Amino acid sequence: MTMLSKILIRLREIRDCRLICQSGLFDRQYYLHNNLDVTRSCMNPVLHYIRYGWQEGRNPSENFNTTYYLKTNRDVVRAGANPLCHYIKYGINENRVPLPVQSRETTGKTDIAPWDQPAVHSHDFAASNTCFDQGWIPDIYETRSNTTVTNQNIWQPLINEQELLRRVRQYNVQKLKRKARVVAFSAMIGNYDRIIHPEHIVDEWDYVFFSDVELQGEHIFEVRKPDYYADEPARMARFIKTHPHLYFKDYDCAVWIDSSILICGPHLEQAVNQCIENGTLLMGNPHPHRSCVFDELAQCISRGKDDPAIMEQQVLRYKKEGFSPEFGMLETGILIRKHNDDRVRVFNEIWWNEIEKGSRRDQLSVMYVLWKTKLPYKFLPDMRDIRDRENKDYQLFPHIGKNDLTLFSYRPPSFMKKPSVSDVKKDADCKFQATPDLLRKERVDIVVCVHNALDDVKKCFQSVLANLLPSHKIFIGDDGSDLETCTYLCELKQACPEQIQLIRNEKAKGYTKAANMGLKASDAPLVILLNSDTIVSENWALKLLHAAKSVPGVGVVGPMSNAASWQSLPRLKDSVTGRLAVNDLPSGKTVQDMDRLCEKCSEFPLFPRVPLINGFCYGIRQEVIDKIGVFDEEAFPRGYGEEDDFSFRAMDAGYIHAIATHCYVYHAKSKSFGDAKRDKLANEGGRILRSRYGEVRVRRAVHGMENNPFLRQVRLGVINACGDRVPKEEQSTIPLLHETERELLVKDADRKQADGMENNLIPFEQIARSDNLKSLIDEKNIRFIDFSCSHGSGVLWTQKKTKAKGLGFDINPRKLKQAAQKGVLCSPFDILNLPERKLVSFTTIFHML
What is the structure's pLDDT at 93?
82
In a domain, residue 170? The reply is yes
Going by C-alpha positions, the residue among 632, 621, 622 that lies closest to residue 556 is 621
In a domain, residue 481? The reply is yes
Helix (H, G, I), strand (E, B) or coil at 477: strand
Has residue 240 got a pLDDT over 70? yes
CB 585 within 8 A of CB 722: no
Residue 798 banded pLDDT, cuts 50, 70, 90:
low
Q: What is the CATH number of the domain that holds 507?
A: 3.90.550.10
What is the structure's pLDDT at 433?
61
In a domain, residue 433? The reply is no
pTM > 0.85: yes or no: no
Average of per-residue pLDDT across 713-720: 88
Has residue 684 got a pLDDT over 60? yes
- Number of folded domains in the chain? 4
Same domain flag for 30 and 123: yes
Structural domain ending residue among the three candidates 109, 144, 179: 144
Which residue range is the domain that position 213 belongs to?
A: 161-288+330-363+375-419
In a domain, residue 383? The reply is yes
Same domain flag for 404 and 446: no
Instruction: Give, in degrees to the nearest 5, the angle at Cα 828 between 833 and 406.
Output: 130
pLDDT in tens, 52-78: 889 888 999 888 999 899 989 988 888
Same domain flag for 403 and 543: no
Structural domain ending residue among the three candidates 79, 109, 144: 144
Same domain flag for 752 and 724: no
Structural domain ending residue among the three candidates 119, 144, 169: 144
Same domain flag for 128 and 220: no
Residue 559: Cβ within 10 Å count: 32
Average of per-residue pLDDT across 272-289: 94
Ranking 5-19, 231-245, 333-347, 775-789 by mean pLDDT, the lowest is 775-789
Has residue 133 got a pLDDT over 50? no
Residue 681: Cβ within 10 Å count: 19
What is the structure's pLDDT at 848?
29
Same domain flag for 167 and 270: yes
Which residues are within 8 A (CB) of 423 and not within 5 positions of it... i.e. 6 or more apart?
A: 214
Average of per-residue pLDDT across 418-441: 57
Of residues 133 and 581, more confidence is placed in: 581
Q: What is the CATH number of the domain that holds 406?
A: 3.90.550
Helical (H) or strand (E) element with 295: helix 293-302
Residue 411 banded pLDDT, cuts 50, 70, 90:
confident
What is the structure's pLDDT at 270?
96
Same domain flag for 723 and 763: no
Same domain flag for 205 and 256: yes
In a domain, residue 427? The reply is no
In a domain, residue 734? The reply is no
Helical (H) or strand (E) element with 621: strand 617-621
Same domain flag for 687 and 779: no
Same domain flag for 710 and 793: no
What is the structure's pLDDT at 567?
94
Ranking 324-328, 332-336, 377-381, 820-824 by mean pLDDT, the lowest is 820-824
Going by C-alpha positions, the residue among 825, 735, 834, 728 that lies closest to residue 781 is 735
Inter-CA distances, 718 with 23, 560, 661, 726, Å: 47, 11, 12, 10
CB 164 within 8 A of CB 263: no
Percent above pLDDT 70 for the chain: 74
What is the structure's pLDDT at 724?
66
Average of per-residue pLDDT across 319-333: 89
Same domain flag for 388 and 451: no
Helix (H, G, I), strand (E, B) or coil at 539: coil
In a domain, residue 528? The reply is yes
Same domain flag for 389 and 275: yes
What is the DSSP pairing of strand 472-479 with strand 444-450?
parallel
Of residues 411 and 556, more confidence is placed in: 556
In a domain, residue 64? The reply is yes
Ranking 550-564, 636-650, 743-757 by mean pLDDT, the lowest is 743-757
Has residue 477 got a pLDDT over 80? yes
Ranking 38-42, 115-119, 755-759 by mean pLDDT, the lowest is 755-759
CB 335 within 8 A of CB 375: no
